[in-house]
Amino acid sequence: MERAIAHMDLDTFFVSCERLKNSALEKLPVIIGGGDRGVVASCSYEARYFGVRSAMPIKMALRLCPEAKIIKGDMEYYSNMSHLVTEVIQERVPVLEKASIDEFYLDLSGMDQFFGCYQWTNGIVDAVTENTGLPISFALSTNKTVSKIGTGEAKPIGRLEVKAPNIQNFLNPLSIKKIPMVGTETFNLFSRLGVKTIQTLSEMPVEVLHQLIGKNGTVLWKKAHGIDDTPVIPYSERKSISTEDTFSEDTIDVQRIRSILSGMVEKLAFQLRQEKWLTSTVTVKIRYSNFDTETKQCRIPYTSADHTLLRVVLELFNKVYTRRMRIRLIGIRFTGLVHGCHQMDLFEDTEELISLYQTMDRIKNRFGASSVGRASGFLK
């Protein structure tokens, strides 16, 4: 049975959400981001026309597009809209993977015998717009790679089907930058070799690609030929990461407990970023010396930022620790995970803070997760 995989992407998601609240923003260059020292979290197509791009410093964006309307953004509102879109899609498909806050993969394999997959996908897109007011694009093909590339070509508010016999012809003229796994360094490497289109890349011997970039060379060769067997991973809010610490001796030292929580948050947040997860639910657990166990949790905007998660964790600890009793165990659990790059709370963080996170993660990757961190996390 031939696979039928659809990729859906909400068009300029943050901007579209803001336009739902304020129709006066329609057709205006809009930049979502935080303050003069912040960076661009998202921007409208009208702003992109002037060269504005995500993660660009706000000051640079304003030099390119002085007339742009700057909006700080509301991650909680965007997260709620993302959950709403997820619910609309999830009740209409057999298998859904939520790849990020605004990106989805749908496995519709076998549904052709009941209803045309392309027609079915069109119906889902119509349902999303009818129920949320948000514009969304999609592409349908035989695998994730071709569908994702197709969505990029279909935007904005586009609908595209790339059937199996047409895959290579569709891919050939496109830049190798369109392949999801090709970053700046890989693109520059192949550009120096004169390889800029997918067709040229596909004509290279797989052995040469393997020599150039190792085992990823084989994967890249397959993607250039439209080959990708990666499954659609069913979306589930039950995914989580967690950690616990049982004390050798029960303690009532609150300052020490907060320090341990700080260290826990840093390690879990680093794990989130490494595995490209964002969390939307935080739970804090304590167990008293008499073995009574209590938990407290709250829903938050998607994030993997240490300082955001630490603030929530300490607030929850203050709420759950209600007895003047010794504690034998504390734990933290992050759930409601979706794949996505660290949002860095682009509406709050400065360029300096974002740079600090990136530098700390590089140090941790090289010397270990415990090699650098907040001083409070080492006060044990």
- Order of strands across the sheet that contains 159-161: 95-100, 103-107, 5-10, 136-141, 159-161
**CA–CA separation, 26 vs 315, rounded Å?**
39
More confident residue, 223 or 115: 223
What is residue 361's predicted lDDT score, i.e. its pLDDT? Answer: 67
Global pTM reads 0.72
More confident residue, 6 or 377: 6
- Which of the residue ranges 41-50, 307-316, 332-341 would you say has the lowest mean pLDDT? 332-341
Percent share of the chain, pLDDT over 70 = 88
The DSSP code for 343 is -
**CA–CA separation, 266 vs 276, rounded Å?**
15
What is residue 114's predicted lDDT score, i.e. its pLDDT? Answer: 67
CA max distance for the chain: 70
* Segment 104-123 mean pLDDT: 88
pLDDT tens for each residue of 191-208 = 999 999 999 999 999 999
Residue 249 is among the residues annotated as catalytic for this protein: no
Residue 134 token pair? 């948000």
Q: Which helix (H) or strand (E) holds 373?
A: none
Q: With a cut of 90, say whether residue 74 has pLDDT above it.
A: no
Angle, nearest 10°, between helix axes 117-132 and 75-90? 140
Residue 138 token pair? 């999609």
The model's confidence at residue 346, banded by pLDDT at 50, 70 and 90, is very low
Q: With a cut of 70, say whether residue 360 has pLDDT above it.
A: no
More confident residue, 359 or 260: 260
What is residue 254's predicted lDDT score, i.e. its pLDDT? Answer: 94
What is residue 378's predicted lDDT score, i.e. its pLDDT? Answer: 52
Cα 118 to Cα 35, 106, 108, 198, 235, distances in angstroms = 43, 12, 9, 25, 21
Catalytic-labelled residue, pool 97, 103, 161, 266: 103
Q: CB under 8 Å to 128, separation ≥6 — which residues?
A: 8, 85, 88, 89, 134, 136
Segments in 3-116 forming alpha helices (H): 13-21, 45-48, 58-64, 75-90
Q: What is the mean pLDDT of the chain?
A: 88
What is residue 69's predicted lDDT score, i.e. its pLDDT? Answer: 95
- Does residue 228 contact residue 145 with C-beta atoms inside 8 Å? yes
**CA–CA separation, 173 vs 272, rounded Å?**
36
What is residue 76's predicted lDDT score, i.e. its pLDDT? Answer: 79
The model's confidence at residue 252, banded by pLDDT at 50, 70 and 90, is very high
Q: With a cut of 90, say whether residue 1 has pLDDT above it.
A: no
